Amino acid sequence: MSQRTRRLRRAAVSAAAACGAATTVLSAAPAQAYENVPVYVWATDVNIRSCPHLSCAVYSGMAISWRTVDAHCQRQGDPVTDGPYANNWWVQVDAGGPRGWISAVYISTGDNWQPIPGVSTDFAVCAP
């Protein structure tokens, strides 16, 4: 898939996700506004790690491809670059197994070097 196609697809998914995320955040109670935020992983075989660093263990058999997962929180970690996308924010997600960390580069919303909108940056809400 060409970079142009990936950018266009990412833009379309981002727009659709932003509309849904805005509705979810506005309708949620303030205490729950940052919990279980659905985010779309736009890439194939994104590794889920035990912490927000490239040196952390990868959960075997837990790679995510082109699907929505629940995000719980985010924090800064190692920078990751994929084509024109770069970010040092990592998002703790639940993809049907143990919670783990993926680079924000692979989430369809957000901008380079910025946290994912709507996902808590309060590390206290993350699972250990």
- State the residue range of the domain holding 121: 3-125
Contact 121, 74 (CB under 8 A): yes
Q: Is the pTM of this model over 0.75?
A: no
The 10s digit of each residue's pLDDT in 78-92 is: 999 999 999 999 999
Average pLDDT, the chain: 81
Please give the Cα distance from 96 to 91 (Å, whole number): 15
Q: How many domains does the chain have?
A: 1
DSSP assignment string, 1-34: --HHHHHHHHHHHHHHHHHHHHHHHHHS-GGGTT
The 10s digit of each residue's pLDDT in 58-75 is: 999 889 999 999 999 999
What's the pLDDT at 128?
A: 65
For residue 119, is pLDDT > 80? yes
Backbone φ/ψ region at 111: left (φ over 0), alpha (ψ -120 to 50), beta: beta
What's the pLDDT at 97?
A: 86
CA distances from 105 to 26, 31, 89 (A): 25, 27, 8
